[in-house]
């Protein structure tokens, strides 16, 4: 029964994560977000290619996709291990977001979904990671660089606050996956070709 519960939870989390928020919001403005900017359906590309309020709305919804399942899963299945439930839900939401079946298994980069998930899993670590993100962004004005640096710091922050090796390992896995998803951004950063947000853009 426990295995069945985990499977059902994983499937539900994947489907929640697969909801293509950025694509649908951009489409409401008459924009196919896959054909403009970076081609990514995430909040950053929506903000840059549609408008700031659309981008912010996409970020909030995508973060909630990660936050609510990780928060509610232990309450819905109180007999199961809390850490395991949160890891399964957070991971499957991120996978659903990154590889949504509704768009040919192409999606976002999982940053907002991961932020929401870790707010439920270890909120002090995520809040400090958010501060790191903000500092890096304000200094260099690159969303991708801020995301990479903040997610790279997340495993150490999770361990510092939770002392939980399993959660720390999961945070490290999420960091690696997120950085790999930013491979094209890293190449552009190294080439000096990455889009820099000016104050008027944000």
Give CA–CA dist 25/108, Å, rounded: 14
Predicted local confidence at residue 185, as pLDDT: 94
**pTM for this entry:** 0.93
Give the mean model confidence (pLDDT) for residues 125-139. Answer: 97
Residue corresponding to tokens 């996978």: 95
Split at pLDDT 50, 70, 90, the class of 197 is: confident
Q: What is the pLDDT of residues 148-165, one digit of tens each?
A: 999 999 999 999 999 999
Give CA–CA dist 46/75, Å, rounded: 34
Give the mean model confidence (pLDDT) for residues 126-140. Answer: 97
Give CA–CA dist 121/7, Å, rounded: 20
Helices (H), 50-110: 52-76, 82-98
Q: Per residue in 1-37, is it b (16+ CB within 10 Å) or e — as a string? A: eeeebbeebbebbbebbbbbbbbebbeeeebebbeeb
Split at pLDDT 50, 70, 90, the class of 4 is: very high
CB distance 154 to 174 below 8 Å = yes
Q: What is the pLDDT of residues 72-127, one digit of tens each?
A: 999 999 999 999 999 999 999 999 999 999 999 999 999 999 999 999 999 999 99
């Amino acid at each position: 029964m426990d295995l069945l519960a985990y499977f059902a939870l994983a499937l539900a989390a994947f489907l929640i994560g697969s909801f293509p928020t950025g694509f649908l919001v951009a489409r409401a403005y008459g924009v196919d977000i896959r054909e403009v900017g970076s081609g990514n359906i995430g909040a950053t590309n929506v903000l840059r290619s549609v408008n700031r309020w659309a981008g912010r709305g996409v970020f909030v919804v995508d973060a909630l996709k990660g936050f609510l399942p990780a928060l509610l899963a232990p309450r819905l299945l109180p007999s199961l291990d809390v850490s395991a439930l949160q890891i399964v839900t957070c991971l499957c939401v991120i996978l659903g977001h990154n590889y949504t079946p509704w768009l040919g298994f192409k999606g976002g980069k999982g940053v907002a979904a991961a932020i929401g998930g870790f707010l439920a899993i270890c909120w002090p670590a995520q809040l400090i990671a958010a501060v790191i993100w903000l500092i890096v962004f304000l200094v260099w004005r690159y969303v991708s660089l801020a995301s990479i640096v903040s997610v790279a710091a997340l495993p150490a922050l999770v361990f510092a606050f939770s002392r939980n090796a399993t959660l720390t390992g999961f945070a490290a896995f999420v960091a690696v996956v997120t950085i790999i998803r930013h491979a094209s951004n890293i190449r552009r950063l190294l080439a000096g070709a990455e889009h820099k947000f000016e104050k008027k853009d944000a």
